[in-house]
Chain A
Amino acid sequence: MPRKIPWIIKYRPRKIGDVVNQDNAKKQFTQWLESWLKGKPIKKAALLYGPAGCGKTSLVEAAAHEYGLELVEMNASDFRRRQDIKRIAETAAKMRSLFARGKIILLDEVDGISGTADRGAIDAILELIKTTRYPIVMTANNPWDQKLRPLRDAALMIAFKRLTDRHVITVLKRICEYEKLECEDKALYEIAKRSEGDLRSAINDLQAIAEGYGRVTHSLVRALSSYRNREYSPFEALQKMFNAKYIFQAKMAISQANIDYDTMMIWINEHIPTYYEDPEEIARAFDALSRADVYMGRIRRSGAWDLLSYVFDMMGPGVAFARRVYRYRWKAFRSPQRLQLLAHTKRSREVREGIARALAPRLATSRSTVKSEVIPYLKIIFMNNPRYAARIALGYNLTDEMVKWLAGHKAREVLMYMEKLSRKH
């Protein structure tokens, strides 16, 4: 299967003009950026704020592209300690000599760090703003947290508006035309309405349906989005969890999924190799998930439900941070086979146990010995000599289900012979 590019990357705006709506923000941002390029910045940093998926990061990316600037993205959670900020500042200085072109430093989602009550991170960012030789852009959904106040004071505040359904539909339509997708207007309207102005999630939804079903109809949208309503469907939750930049995002994705954590664990178990390709990442992700499972077992045995938090730590962030480098990857997450598998293996195991129970006293041995030492040979007889097998089945009063389990594709023959033998009697 060819690797699919996430549409939110494929269709991200290349020019400032491509960013939908947000005319005010665009104007403010361009003026601020040009003041930097002229060497006289209005303010050294800008804080772009507004609801999720309204175009904050897209605008920064488009501007960088248009002005030929390198976009250096820094993880806000790196700004924990003073030595980190020093190291980052030094690297930034070195990089200049290598690339000899301007750059924009992007600190995405700074409101993510406020919740962790990490005062040190705010100080570190302020320090960076003071010493930087490059424009610094921060983004936030909600900049009004008390802890972010020093950042608000140090930065030019640029507000983004929530996108209207009409804007979202316009973009979706453009994508559909480009992808030559068959889609109903009503379907696009439904996606837009449910996205609540979040263009990113709308595009993700569109791609999920388009790639899953090849067309976009109103009923598909409704069926798929029935999960939704502030809560995330499992595949959305996985998308957010795997692609989380920060620990809190990965954790939130898990807790806001509309399925319980047991089921979520099954989804993650299924999709670790969907998301990751590198064996090291797969191994690390499964390691984290297996730890979550161990905690889950301890909870079940001890009733210590306060351990649940560790389950979430390991299954969400633990799995998401198994990556070696961060890269947004859009993947089609389908329903796990596991649920069927579980039923199959459980039944299969019960049948095997039943056979062991029937045979053990007759052979004067344990059930475990029957399972390891007798059943394998019994299976050979049942799969190769149906007539003989039928007589043994009668000898031990094996049920039809046991016969089927033992004989596999020869089951019908064995059952037929059993029928014949019984009739003679």
Chain B
Amino acid sequence: MSSREALAELLWAEKYRPRTLDEMVDQKEVVERLKRFVKEKNMPHLLFAGPPGTGKTTAAHCLAHDLFGENYRQYMLELNASDERGIDVIRSKVKEFARTRVAANIPFKIVLLDEADNMTADAQQALRRLMEMYTATTRFILIANYPSKIIEPIQSRCAVFRFTPLPKDDLIGRLKWICEREKVEFDEDALEAIYEIAEGDMRRAINILQAAAALGRVTVESVYKVVGLAHPREIRQMIQLALAGNFTDARGKLRELMINYGLSGLDVIKQIHREVFSQEIKIPDEYKLIIADLAGEIQFRLVEGADDEIQLNAFLARLAYIGRKLRG
């Protein structure tokens, strides 16, 4: 290791990610079953389902590592449904990958497709055909937050593994273990607070811990400060300005958000949608639904390639009008 690397630091989510199935301390049942595949040097197509941050992708990497060894990445094609541009791109990448050579001792290669539940039903049908076409030389590991969004024919071709949110003790135990290795000082209740916020999402828990540690001793206060900072309040302020009838200031906020946070129109409208239903936005429920409906329309237009600012301005202007009607 060069001294430069010694000085460099990594995100703990990478640094403390298990590399082998043995290192995986959670999802014990899943891990046991996966270890059997390693022993048999064979496996069916797999579907890993469960909430974010429960170790689905990590388990896939560990499995591949244990099957193929240190250089497992050359036998694994990683795709992300939400990053690839449609099924055609996926198809050509899989086709290309299927041509490359296989390892000496394992007769197949792995295609890891993350966020498969983000694919449309049509794209999933095409995916199913792909899985059949290359089944002799490849195995697919599909990863999804919501297994119900995976079409039946795919589910029936896969061994399904359910990942569950990490239990409190496991998650806090892991955070403590990291704190010891990093020599981070912490309050017990701060780790509890992280658990409450992360809702069993290990990645989020570790990210919060690392950011809080960057501020100093990890306390309940610093944890909440980090969480507050991570989710820009500007979105809420923007909504509130608009609802107060102040279109021009709301527009100013929007511009600020887009520049300072590099948010796209889609990022903004999605966050708005989440925010509208929060307790902080004090308007009658039926108006929340009107706004949600409008947000949906705007989001669709943006997906179709409409202009971020014009569409969001139209949204804010409508909000300002609704706000004025509400105040009578």
Contact = CB atoms under 8 A, between A and B. Distances in A.
B214 A395 contact: no
A424 B7 contact: yes
Main secondary structure of the interface of A (DSSP, over half): helix
Contact of B203 (A272, A342, A373, A379): A373
A381 interface: yes
Interface string A265-292: 1000100110000011011011101100
Interface in A286-322: 286-287, 289-290, 293-294, 296-298, 300-301
Interface string B215-240: 10000000000100111000000000
Nearest to A394: B8
A348 to B, nearest CB: 4
A399 B213 CA distance: 24
Contact of B321 (A283, A294, A405): A283
Given A293-B307, A374-B207, A282 B17 contact: no
Contacts of A425: 2-4, 7
A376 B230 contact: yes
B195 interface: no
A39 to B, nearest CB: 50
Nearest to B302: A297
A338 interface: yes
Most chain B CB inside 10 Å of its own CB: which residue of A349, A368, A388: A349
A392 interface: yes
Contacts of B211: 377-378, 380-381
Contacts of A405: 262
A389 B320 CA distance: 40
Given A348-B262, A363-B14, A364-B61, A391 B311 contact: no
Nearest to B2: A425
Contact of B320 (A282, A289, A293, A345): A282
A318 to B, nearest CB: 12
A247 to B, nearest CB: 21
Interface of A: 265, 269, 272-273, 279-280, 282-283, 285-287, 289-290, 293-294, 296-298, 300-301, 337-338, 341-342, 344-345, 348-349, 351-352, 359-369, 371-374, 376-381, 384-385, 388-389, 391-392, 394-396, 405, 408, 421-422, 424-425
Interface of B: 2-4, 7-11, 13-14, 17, 52, 57-58, 61, 78, 80, 82-83, 114-115, 203-204, 207-208, 210-211, 214-215, 226, 229-231, 245, 247-248, 251, 255, 258-264, 267, 301, 304-311, 313-314, 317-318, 320-321, 323-324
17 contacts: A279-B317, A282-B317, A283-B317, A289-B310, A289-B314, A290-B306, A337-B255, A348-B262, A352-B262, A361-B78, A364-B61, A373-B204, A377-B210, A380-B215, A381-B214, A391-B9, A394-B9
